[in-house]
Amino acid sequence: MAQLYLQLQAKLMREYYRDFSKYAKGRLPEKKAAWVTAFTPVEILEALDMEYIYPESYAAVIAASGKEQDLLRESEKGGLCRDCCAYSGCYNGALSAGTAPRGLPPRPDVLIATNNQCNTLPGWWNLLAQEYDVPLIVLDYPGEGADREQAFSYVTAQHRELIARMEELSGNRLDDGRLERLIQNSRDSVAAWKKVVGLLPEKDIEPTVLFDGISYLITSRCKPETAEFYTAMYEYYAASPEADRGRKPVFWLGYPLWYHPQRYLKELLPDYRVSGSNYVTWWSLDYDGDGPMEQLFTAYNYTFLNLSAKTKRERLQGCIEKSGAKAAVSLRNKSCKCDFVSARYIELPQVELEIDMIDREYLDMGRAGERMDILREIL
Amino acid sequence: MNILSLSGFIPEQICDTIRFFGYEGQQRISHYCRYASDYISQILEDPEIDGAVFPRTCDSSRTIASYLEECGKFVYPFHIPARQDRAAVSFLADSIRRYKTAVEQHYGTGLTDIPERTSLVNERNRKFRRLYARLPELSYSAYLDMLHGILRKPLREQRVPDDLPPCPCPGGPKVFIAGSTQTGSGIVRQIEAASLHIVGDRLPESHRLFSAPEVPLEGDIFENIALSMLSAMPSPSQDDFSRILREDRKELLRRQVQGVIFITQKYCEPYDYLFPAYREMLDGLGIKSLRITVSGSQSENEMALAVETFADML
């Protein structure tokens, strides 16, 4: 089982990084490449046989390799403020420096950004568009606050326009049947991933496994191998020993710390186990609806960060209840203003830590340790 | 009805709102725009204010509703399209209709004077444009104070003067002000005190506000308002840096600008992302730039020193 799980993981990684300069070694990509944000309707791009690259994910990889500080300084020299999302600082720094652990991604033929997770990303993409003389497409998702019918008509007009423009760019015609199959793949990936996430409160599993494992739901969600990979992953971890009930279950509310070997502050939590995390549920998109257009609309207009404050709070509450957590570590992330606001309404003992998911110098470990001590006393 | 509105994206043609420019409040939120947190403070703390309307155009403003969930006042987040095409105009027109209905339902009133208000906005903006055209001969700080004072008032009480005090330093190096909404005229007074001659701006409450084309009274008024809003000079939150750079380049050359002072709130990410591209455009034109971040680590004295040094450079 372990072998199958690792083989599938290696295959997905190999495919994703194939055209990065370290592996391409001068070979040009065979497909047109889009640089996309993490909640882009990539089923459309996949159906048109395009390649899509996720700069945010790559910034996380760079930080995990310990290379982010030089690159953050590099982008700052270019005028990008250190207050900006560190994903952008890290990635743009790599582009300026011309170096990164897996090399540089293939040059984009198109830049596609969405505002269904935050408004920072379209700004970052606008800046990238000044560097590369390629089309910039910003997909506007009004979210739960808008009237559903109006939003459906508005978003669908944009999806149809995206299809037309990408058909022209790629030279391929969209096959409706293929798009439907790819959406089904995404659904299957989400379903298989949810089962993996369900293991965290029950089994002796490091959350690191999930923080790293979710990257395939981001980069490869509509590929058929992804559901297969998550199924193998589930079967592998389902055989793990039961969780140690002697350690208090705690909810990790916010991003993984990509620079940290365990992606969370394990050293500050010796008597706790992380039994849940909201981050690992963000890409569990709901492709509900009649036909591909409505399914894509539902999935991408109603992403977690595009929901109303009330719905977000209810979802988060549900997530915490499922985890069985008795306390929460809430992260105030310098790079993301959108992810921690719901924590205000959680009725659990919680500690707030000031962090950045990429920039390790932002965390004051001494202060974080003191806060954890306070939480321990409360409990 | 005392609705506090956060930005120029809220259509004034629908009803009166009090335009927010600043408040010293209790809310302090990490990594969050101070302008937005002060807005939240005023909604929560000021008993005179009974409603909030704000656009979801940046990461701070899109989370405002979460902080106001239990305030018991009218709270209306307004989605401003990130695009300017036909579908976006239709969507925005529908959103404006929904905003009108929401205000009517909450306050139990009928908003029936939209055409009349539209005429008043058109007329006021014509006067603003005339003053802006004469900006090189006028005191910029007086101009900014005038704008802030007027925009806080109900539309029918807004009186645009025909004239303003003269520019205090007409012979100084010509500078242009870019950046986010100003909470007051303190910084521009420092700029004038350094003998810099402010000849133009691209501030949301000034040039960008009245760059919106006049709204025709014939036809569907909501569509007309939406089209006008989306045809104005874009904010960096509207995802068209190329147009901003193109339009500003023309304006800078037309006004023979020697320096640009880029003033933003700390944690104002739309402008933080625009800045590197803007600076590159200025470098290409041989125009010097100074960046000032408000509510950041720079104290007033440091800002004054930075402005003086910049003036010496010019």
Q: What is the pLDDT of residues A20-75, one digit of tens each?
A: 999 998 899 999 999 999 999 999 999 999 999 999 999 999 999 999 999 999 99
Place of tokens 């899509």: A52
Instruction: Count the Cβ atoms, other than its own, within 10 Å of residue A120.
Output: 25
B267, two tokens: 């944690």
Label residue B190 exposed, middle or buried (CB < 10 Å: 0-12, 13-18, 19+): buried
Rounded to whole angstroms, what are the CA distances from B142 to B20, B131, B177?
Answer: 19, 11, 15
Closest CA to A264 of A314, A226, A343, A211: A211
Residue B176 is predicted with a pLDDT of 97
Mean pLDDT, to the nearest integer, of A205-225? 96
A167, two tokens: 């058909």
Residue B298 is predicted with a pLDDT of 53
Q: What percent of chain A has pLDDT over 90?
A: 88
Closest CA to B238 of B81, B90, B36, B85: B81
A138, two tokens: 């910003």
What residues in B contact A344, CB-CB < 8 Å?
Answer: 66-67
Question: ipTM strictly over 0.85?
Answer: yes
Cross-chain residue pair B241–A120, CB shorter than 8 Å: no
User: What is the dihedral angle through the alpha carbons of B102, B106, B112, B113, rounded to the nearest 10 degrees?
Assistant: -90
Give how far A52 is from chain B: nearest CA, Å.
21
Residue B304 is predicted with a pLDDT of 85
Cross-chain residue pair B91–A143, CB shorter than 8 Å: no
Residue B66 is predicted with a pLDDT of 86
A107, two tokens: 């040059």
Scanning every residue of chain A, which has its alpha carbon at the shortest distance from the alpha carbon of B270? A123
Q: Among residues 326-365 of chain A, which lie with CB inside 8 Å of chain B?
A: 332-338, 341-342, 344-345, 354
Cross-chain residue pair B237–A334, CB shorter than 8 Å: no
Has residue A277 got a pLDDT over 70?
yes
What residues in A contact B246, CB-CB < 8 Å?
Answer: none
Cross-chain residue pair B31–A334, CB shorter than 8 Å: yes
Cross-chain residue pair B272–A342, CB shorter than 8 Å: no
Q: Measured between alpha carbons, how far is A190 from A227 in angstroms, rounded to an integer? A: 8
Mutate to test the interface with B, among A37, A77, A81 (most CBs of B within 10 A): A81
pTM of the model: 0.95
Cross-chain residue pair A158–B87, CB shorter than 8 Å: yes
Cβ distance B98 to B78 under 8 Å?
no
Scanning every residue of chain B, which has its alpha carbon at the shortest distance from the alpha carbon of A339? B63
Instruction: Count the Cβ atoms, other than its own, within 10 Å of residue B14.
Output: 22
Rounded to whole angstroms, what are the CA distances from A179 to A160, A174, B59?
Answer: 13, 8, 32
Has residue A124 got a pLDDT over 70?
yes
Q: Measured between alpha carbons, how far is A39 from A283 in angstroms, rounded to an integer? A: 8
Residue A340 is predicted with a pLDDT of 66
CB pairs under 8 A between A and B: 139
What residues in B contact A136, CB-CB < 8 Å?
Answer: 239, 242
Give how far B268 is from chain A: nearest CA, Å.
9
Of A124, A140, A333, the CB nearest to B83: A140
Cross-chain residue pair B79–A146, CB shorter than 8 Å: yes
Q: Measured between alpha carbons, how far is A137 from A153 in angstroms, rounded to an integer? A: 18
Which residues fall within 8 angstroms of residue B134, CB to CB, at 6 or more apart? none
What residues in B contact A158, CB-CB < 8 Å?
Answer: 83, 87
The mean-pLDDT minimum among A100-109, A358-367, B178-187, B212-221 falls in B178-187
Of A84, A127, A342, the CB nearest to B66: A342
pLDDT < 70 positions in chain B = 296-299
Q: Measured between alpha carbons, how far is B97 from B162 in angstroms, rounded to an integer? A: 34
More confident: A249 or A377? A249
Q: Measured between alpha carbons, how far is B92 from B227 in angstroms, rounded to an integer? A: 8
The alpha carbon of A245 is separated from its chain's Cα centroid by a whole number of angstroms, namely 30
Neighbour-count burial for A4-21, b at 16+ CB within 10 Å, e otherwise: ebeebbeebeeebbebbb
Scanning every residue of chain A, which has its alpha carbon at the shortest distance from the alpha carbon of B63? A338
User: What is the dihedral angle through the alpha carbons of B61, B64, B66, B70, rounded to the nearest 10 degrees?
Assistant: -160
Q: Measured between alpha carbons, how far is B301 from B299 in angstroms, rounded to an integer? A: 5
Of A145, A158, A334, the CB nearest to B79: A145
Has residue A341 got a pLDDT over 70?
no
A325, two tokens: 């957590």
Q: How many CA atoms lie within 13 A of A187 on its CB side?
A: 14
Give how far B159 is from chain A: nearest CA, Å.
35
Neighbour-count burial for A205-228, b at 16+ CB within 10 Å, e otherwise: bbbbbbbbbbbbbbbbbbbebbbb
Does residue B175 come out as left (phi exceeding 0), alpha (psi in the -120 to 50 range) or beta? beta
Q: Measured between alpha carbons, how far is A162 from A175 in angstroms, rounded to an integer? A: 14
Residue A347 is predicted with a pLDDT of 81
Q: Measured between alpha carbons, how far is A56 from A38 in angstroms, rounded to an integer? A: 7
What residues in A contact B77, CB-CB < 8 Å?
Answer: 145
Give how far B50 is from chain A: nearest CA, Å.
20
What sign results for the dihedral spanned by CA atoms B235, B10, B228, B155?
Answer: negative
DSSP-derived letter for residue B288 is: E
Mutate to test the interface with B, among A126, A304, A346 (most CBs of B within 10 A): A126
Which residues fall within 8 angstroms of residue A340, CB to CB, at 6 or more apart? A253, A254, A330, A331, A332, A333
Mean pLDDT, to the nearest integer, of A335-364? 84
Scanning every residue of chain A, which has its alpha carbon at the shortest distance from the alpha carbon of B274? A127
E-strand ranges in chain B read 3-5, 18-19, 51-55, 74-78, 174-179, 197-201, 259-265, 288-294
What residues in A contact B94, CB-CB < 8 Å?
Answer: 147, 150
Residue A342 is predicted with a pLDDT of 63
